[in-house]
Amino acid sequence: MDLAEHKVSGKTIFNGKIVRLDVDQARLPDGSIATREVVYHPGGVAILALDEQNNVSLVRQFRYPFGKLLLELPAGKLDHGAEEDPLLGAKRELSEEAGLEAAHWTYLGCILASPGFSSEVLHMYLARQLTPTPRHPDEDEFLDVLTMPFEELFAQVMDGTVTDAKTVATVLKTKYLLGL
């Protein structure tokens, strides 16, 4: 059975600084029409920066949609859209948020953040051989930087303390890759 849905018509409802919201009409496999709301996002990166002692650099920041502080890996959107090299975005975000540069980068793959309604693709990286550099967060970005042993972060992922999807996925991929 062909499960593909095909756009019949669409309308942009909102076009903002980060996302665009379209409401489309799509033809379903049985021929009927359904409404599909799609949030178009340029994509992003998440970086697990691991030092020689297996400590991870993290950021704590207030996340407005949830009304609370979250502990996350340094991350950010691809400033030049999906055509931007994700590694360049990862290097920029690690420097901006954590004040770090890395000599060794490992691509861990990507995840689809919420494919039911969003086009966001998040690219995950492991960064090693770290050196400090001045932090320069975006002007509307306020965050604390902290470090934590990888095993402690892994435990917080597993017990549900850390719930940010990009952080969870990147930690689990790193655990599997390095066998930590």
Q: pTM to 2 decimals?
A: 0.94
Predicted confidence (pLDDT) per residue in 117-172, tens digit: 999 999 999 999 999 999 987 888 899 999 999 999 999 999 999 999 999 999 99
Predicted confidence (pLDDT) per residue in 9-37, tens digit: 999 999 999 999 999 999 999 999 999 99
| Dist CA 46 CA 43 (whole Å) | 11
Set 139, 141, 151, 152: catalytic member: 139
| Dist CA 107 CA 47 (whole Å) | 10
CB atoms within 10 A of CB 135: 13
Task: Check if 139 is active-site.
Answer: yes
Predicted confidence (pLDDT) per residue in 51-93, tens digit: 999 999 999 999 999 999 999 999 999 988 778 899 999 999 9
CB atoms within 10 A of CB 10: 13
